Amino acid sequence: MGSGFKKRKKQMQALQEQLMSAQEEIKNKKVVGTSGGGLVSVTLSGEHEMLDINIKKECIDPEDQDGLQDLIRSAYQNACEQLNESQPELPGSSLFDLMPN
């Protein structure tokens, strides 16, 4: 096993560290999605876990349950879109660079 193996092993270790760092960044991320001009807000973790939901009193109408449900879904979707846009680039494509030809 020559220096090529040692080099690839070192590259794999660096890639693993990058991946662990990216996973930790995702885990600690928090985003807030809103809808209805801020009437409903949803806070999600980087793992899409709902941490908080805030519904302003003025949007609570007992006669319009469907409207409130739509606002909640929309706020959740908004938060999910923000998470997807802000996720760090995972080093997965670098794996192919390490494979022997």
Q: Where are the alpha helices (DSSP H) in the chain?
A: 3-28, 65-86, 94-98
Rounded mean pLDDT, 48-75: 94
**Rounded CA separation 46/29 (Å):** 5
Q: Is residue 75 part of a domain?
A: yes
Q: What is the CATH number of the domain that holds 81?
A: 3.30.1310.10
pLDDT digits (tens, 9 = 90+) for 13-50: 888 888 888 888 888 889 999 999 999 999 999 888 99
Judge whether 83 and 46 are in contact, CB under 8 Å. yes
Q: Is residue 101 part of a domain?
A: no
Check residue 45 and give its pLDDT.
Answer: 92
Whether the pTM exceeds 0.75: the reply is no
Check residue 43 and give its pLDDT.
Answer: 97
Owning domain of residue 34:
3-96
pLDDT digits (tens, 9 = 90+) for 66-101: 999 999 999 999 999 999 888 766 555 555 555 554
Domain count, the chain: 1
Check residue 53 and give its pLDDT.
Answer: 97
Check residue 1 and give its pLDDT.
Answer: 52
